[in-house]
Amino acid sequence: MPLHEVLIPLFDGVQPLDVAGPHEVFAGATEVLEHRDCGPGYRVSLVAAQPGPVRTPSGMQLVADGPLPESGQIGTLLVPGGRGPLELAADDPFVHWLRRAAPRADRVVSVCTGSFVLAAAGLLDGLRATTHWHYAARLADAHPAVDVRPDAIYLRQGRIWTAAGVTAGIDLALALVEADHGVELAQQVARHLVVFLRRPGGQSQFAGPVWTPPARRPGVREAQDLIHADPTADLRVPVLAARVGMSERHFSREFTRALGCPPGDYVEQVRVDAARRLLESEPVLVSVAAARAGFGSAETMRRAFLRRLGVPPDHYRRHFAVR
């Protein structure tokens, strides 16, 4: 396999881990391939509108090797994230450059909010894509032609790949190495970096509890208050509807219209958030957390965690409990 060129464009405000993480994965893979005498691996180039140092939000500076190239084949074009991409318009010079460069790349990938640049360039229209969980709703609102999947660590749609926030760039780069050279090499690089080759669950487990603003309709808002006040109460639709003086059908319709999800889904999310707080802060049994969060059993809570977070409660506690 010939040397694979990886091009990473930089810009003011770029997130340094979006660059350094994938860079180290490709460098590690190259070192192993050269040691095995298996031919060349990857050559990573950092470029920018103006060559030289580029400042990141933390004050660290990354150095661009050269200008944004206007010709030549590109193996992997990797667009990192940061605060800058959030504000880029479709007529921004960087977006124009990406539109011109993308056809010359074997694959175009983004890390974190780099997906906003791909979306502004029209590269994600009609595709599934992901981004940092905190900005997923914003991406969906700004680019309705993109099918945003907020829980995915990374997604592949043909030659277009998108990854979640920050360290997910490592997951993405490992997946690229696996696609190029097989799972054994990717696993060796992952072990050296002390990371999972495929981390369990999605990025929802890293997101904080979702705050939903109070509904304007009094009956729905009253139901919200009842749910948050005591997640262990009987919160079935007939009970809630009766408590707020509405018919079941009318209550379900108004609740879903006001909050964007059915009452049962909302109750489950509130209970999952309550259980997360317990598992993070108190050394309780999973069964105890399930009872105190309003789940009928530990198994019911386990299924809810898998639906909402992609991991079971005991896994969540091992990784997020405050010791």
Residues with catalytic roles: 112
CA distance 6 to 36: 21
> Maximum CA pair distance of the chain?
75
CA distance 30 to 109: 19
Q: How far is CA 321 from CA 118, 245, 279, 294, in A?
A: 36, 41, 6, 20
Q: 124 near 79, Cβ under 8 Å?
A: no
Angle (CA) 237-241-244 rounded to 5° is 145
With DSSP H G I counted as helix, E B as strand and the rest as coil, what are the percentages for the chain, rounded to 5? 50, 15, 35
| 245: its two tokens | 């003086």
CA distance 160 to 128: 10
DSSP 196-228: -SS-SS-GGGGSPPPP-PPPSSHHHHHHHHHHH
